[in-house]
Amino acid sequence: MGEYLSADATTLAGLVGAGEVTPAELLDLARSRADAVNPALNAIVIRMDAEADARARGELSGPFAGVPFLIKDLAQDYRGYPTSRGSRALATHIATEHSHGVRRLLDAGLVIFGKTNTPEFGAKGITEPTFWGPTRNPWDLNVTPGGSSGGSAAAVAAGIVPAAGASDGGGSIRIPAACTGLFGLKSSRGLMPYGPQTGEPLFGMGVEGVVTRTVRDAAAFYDALIGPTASSTYPAPLHTESFSTRIASRPRLLRIGLTTKSAINPNPHPEARAAVEHAASLLTDLGHQVEEVEPPHDDAELARDFLDIWFAKCAAQVDEVRRLTGAPDSHFEADTLALAELGRAAGVVPLFTALDHINDHVLALERFHRTHDLLLTPTLAMPPPQIGSMTTPPLLQRAARLAARARSGRVMARLGIVDQLISESLGWVPCTQLANLTGRPAMSVPLHWTEAGLPLGVQFVGRLGADGDLLALAAGLEEAAPWFHRYADIAL
């Protein structure tokens, strides 16, 4: 077990290829670790043991042949198993075919043995669904591992698997990576295939991906995953060299703009500032030019645009699930029903206004990138919050259900609910939505640990298509300030 915990996916695949260990032996180690730590973490919510056993006994090929893996219980459909999306309403809704992303993971040779926890419909930056219960952070069981890929991040940080499936519609790869000491890249729009069940979610804001402990694993996973399918809406241009090749060379010297300012959270936690300052010092030591800048975009407007799109998606999603399953309101969380009602009551004008505003945010970043290669910000504006600290109080949950039933979304909007959501839901993660609305690549890199011993990542945002540049920089940072040796050996 000690050898397993000290190896990344690339190493494990090499051992399998050399005949030093079998896929079945690695699967046994992964499940033993899961059996030991998952009761405390609640990271894995669906086990797929019979499927995994059969696969581990078969012929496997690909860059990660024989490596144990977990997929997220959202978007990553596996034929014959439910994709609950964290909701009681979909608990028994069985996928009839693999998603494109899962098919590529299988083609890479991975042995998938379970699905990980996520908030209902991936709609929060924490992972505390009513249906499955909260996932806990292996660095401190009292705090969140973030969301919506919190189950995957907790599983990787605790050593169950060296990498796990994730997705990012507003920070859902980068937020949990920052909370758990992992590396997380949200790729450029269009690189990752979606479907065949759906097209690009959230008008291209959402992408699939992974959370990993090492940058080389991330590069190899994205090499295996990206590229259009026959059902893709359009062909995104691919890079001329693989990401694995790209990270082998030293990153070129970059000009990086740094900011910790945010209109929706003007007072980030001192640890968030310290994280960015530490990163800036390290970058300067490596020869990069770092300078403070004003935020290149109107983040208050961007937050409202993001939520207007999210409300509309939530309304459509609830209606879709009702049609599919006939689920009653009691099978949805109160917060979900309230968000759906806000979207339903708003109508199409705020949605299309928000979509029109995306061009403004793209142009703002384009102007910034004329003079700077990357934007450096905190990934989180505070250390990972306590489990339950962001739970809607029971009285307000009852009020939300009544408001949704009474179709009083316009009343909720007039009462300032949207402004409250911007402050409370996005205030602790004010910097992550920019990359989603603009389709730009962004990564969270685990360079800082708080005085309390919690990870706190920093974010870099790049030009469209600069995924390779981000990975190359991350590889250089990992070499200069290694984090792999930091291990969340949770007390059981």
Residues assigned a catalytic role: 72, 148, 172
Strand 458-461 vs strand 374-378: parallel, antiparallel, or unpaired?
A: antiparallel
Token pair 């000290």 is found at 6
What are the DSSP calls for 120-167, one per residue? GGG-SSS---TTT----BTTBTTB---SSSHHHHHHHHTTS-SEEEEE
- Which residue from 164, 183, 170, 181 is spatially nearest to 473, judged by alpha carbons? 183
Cα(125)–Cα(186) distance, integer angstroms: 15
Rounded to 5 degrees, what are φ and ψ at 390? -110, 15
* Residue 265, token pair as written in the block: 């959270």
Taking the alpha carbons at both ends of the chain, their separation in whole angstroms is 16
| Residue 320, Cβ density class (10 Å: 0-12 exposed, 13-18 middle, ≥19 buried) | exposed
Cα separation, 467 vs 457, whole angstroms: 18
Cα 337 to chain centroid, rounded: 23
CA nearest to 445, candidates 266, 183, 146: 183
